[in-house]
Structure 1
Amino acid sequence: MQPNPLDPVAGERLSHADRIFTSDLTVNEFVLLHGAGFEPIDLVMGVSVYHVGFQFSGLRQQMELTVLTEATYRARWNAMARMQAEADNVGADGVVGVELYWRAHGESGEHLEFIAVGTAVRYAAQPGAFRRPNGQAFSSHLSGQDLITLLRAGWAPVAFVMGNCVFHVAAQGFLQTMRQIGQNVEMPQWTQGNYQARELAMSRMQAEAERDGAKGVVGVFTAVDNYCWGFHTLEFYAAGTAVRQTGAGEAIEPSFVLPMSG
């Protein structure tokens, strides 16, 4: 992800980050990360309200809707880039607990708001040790507990990566519908449509990880949504944290271990 200009309003808020930190970390996450040498700096976020364009497709066409795929990806990318800009502005080594979600904006169904939120942290023992090769802060959706486990095993987060595909599933004909009444039968256009959408989204997520020099993606999760497009159009979305192996000198050991809850 390339550097993005910092929003002036965000810059004013972040100018006070050296006085008091704000975080969405749970108490356990905060204490565990702090014990491992990570200091929270501030809550960082990015927002993008996007008008999703309309793309015509035939009712009987099985196809990716590239206009809609690009719109929903670009909106997410804008939100992530603005969150990244805030983290880089405060000199963070990383952003942990990243959440990227959406909501309908206003009364118009084609307006979507994508929001990225996370906690910027600094590795006090060796600032910069866990940043990406280009100097930017890493980003990860992993919990504080999972992040420490990852680091102790000799792996480090690189970036929150994602891929998506908006796909139109063809409507079946009237005669086929009539033949299926009361029958147990697979619906091949839905099976293949979902397969194609998933494969495209997953391959795009993996391509982002390869672009960032990662060796793998952990904590992968998926979501399917129709937004405002109707029953036959869906978006398949995949995301996770890209990781790399670290040198022996980068592995960390927390100064304590939290007791297991009963």
Structure 2
Amino acid sequence: MQYGSWSKSQELDVLSKAMYHARELAMSRMRAEAAAMGADGIVGVKLTIKRLEWDEHLLEFIAIGTGVVHGEGHKGFRAHDGGPFTSDLSGQDFWSLLHSGYRPVEMVMGSCVYHVAHRGMMSGFGTMGRNVEMENFTAAMYEAREIAIERMQFEAAAAKAEGVVGVDIHEGSHGWQTHVIEFFAIGTAVLPLDQEIAPEKIADPIMVLSVND
């Protein structure tokens, strides 16, 4: 376990790297399973973290998704390494992406575990009974989110993607000490399809009411 200074806001880089590496292991094993099945990609990927009751410092990372195969055997949808692409988009969003002229390359993510500095006793007395912004908390939370998003964007650039869709940012303390929180940014990096789709063939957007949990 890594600890931060009581009065200093800072990234806990050891924890950031550990959380990222654990997710990478889970993702790589999921991809290996999909490759063994002959899948071209994996959609609807979910990454979950579960605390294990037999040790407070143990976390289980689970990656799960649905392997898909191109109906005509086209291999152009695979990732740069020839393995299955990964995407956290739902089946509906995946269909919409393809019909907009883009394809998924891989899931990209960024993690930042951050310690938010405690406020001093005098600061607490100075704001007692008043509605005020906790500026040190605001600045720390903003910086931590920015670090996570920048790392996700760096992964997308490394994959030579043109953008990232379906971006989501998760926050969690995972049972760590107070004032320690992880920001996790995740999305699907995309590239244009090999064959450009004429704008008039792209369906007009429609409102969709999700009935999923």
Query: Given the two structures, how large is their TM-score scaled by the length of structure 2?
Result: 0.89
Trace 1:95-110 onto structure 2 (pairs within 5 A).
95-110=42-57
**Over residues 29-79 of structure 1, what are the superposed CA-to-partner deviations in whole Å (9 max), with x where a residue is unaligned?**
xxxxxxxxxxxxxxxxxxxxxxxxx11322112110011111111111110
- Which residue pairs with 2:91 in the alignment? 144
- Which residue pairs with 1:27 in the alignment? none
- Which residue pairs with 1:196 in the alignment? 143
Q: Is the Cα contact below 8 Å between 1:87 and 1:120 reproduced in 2?
A: yes
Give the secondary structure class of the aligned counterpart of 1:55.
coil
- Which residue pairs with 2:68 in the alignment? 121
- Which residue pairs with 2:152 in the alignment? 205
Q: 2:188 & 2:197 partners in 1: Cα distance?
A: 18
Q: Is the Cα contact below 8 Å between 2:51 and 2:59 reproduced in 1?
A: yes
Counterpart residue identity of residue 94, structure 1: G
Does residue 75 (structure 1) correspond to residue 35 (structure 2)? The answer is: no
Q: Is the Cα contact below 8 Å between 1:215 and 1:242 reproduced in 2?
A: yes
Trace 1:170-189 onto structure 2 (pairs within 5 A).
170-189=117-136
Does residue 167 (structure 1) correspond to residue 114 (structure 2)? The answer is: yes
**CA separation of 1:58 and 1:123: change in aligned 2, threshold 3 A:** same
One of 235, 244, 257 as aligned partner of 2:191: 244
- Which residue pairs with 1:56 in the alignment? 3
Q: Is the Cα contact below 8 Å between 1:123 and 1:129 reproduced in 2?
A: no
C-alpha deviation, 1:133, in angstroms: 2.7
One of 103, 106, 110 as aligned partner of 1:156: 103
Give the secondary structure class of the aligned counterpart of 2:124.
helix
Aligned length: 201
C-alpha deviation, 1:109, in angstroms: 1.8
Q: Is the Cα contact below 8 Å between 2:100 and 2:197 reproduced in 1?
A: no
Segments of structure 1 that go 5 or more residues without pairing to the other structure are 1-53, 254-259
Q: 2:195 & 2:75 partners in 1: Cα distance?
A: 16
Does residue 92 (structure 1) correspond to residue 39 (structure 2)? The answer is: yes
Segments of structure 2 that go 5 or more residues without pairing to the other structure are 202-207
**Over residues 156-213 of structure 1, what are the superposed CA-to-partner deviations in whole Å (9 max), with x where a residue is unaligned?**
0011111110000110110110111111111111111101100100000111111112
C-alpha deviation, 1:237, in angstroms: 0.7
Q: Is the Cα contact below 8 Å between 1:158 and 1:241 reproduced in 2?
A: yes
C-alpha deviation, 1:249, in angstroms: 6.9
Q: 1:56 & 1:94 partners in 2: Cα distance?
A: 39
Does residue 229 (structure 1) correspond to residue 176 (structure 2)? The answer is: yes
Could you tell me the percent identity over the aligned residues? 44
Q: Is the Cα contact below 8 Å between 2:112 and 2:144 reproduced in 1?
A: yes
Query: Given the two structures, how large is their TM-score scaled by the length of structure 1?
Result: 0.73
Q: 1:125 & 1:189 partners in 2: Cα distance?
A: 56
Q: 1:117 & 1:103 partners in 2: Cα distance?
A: 14
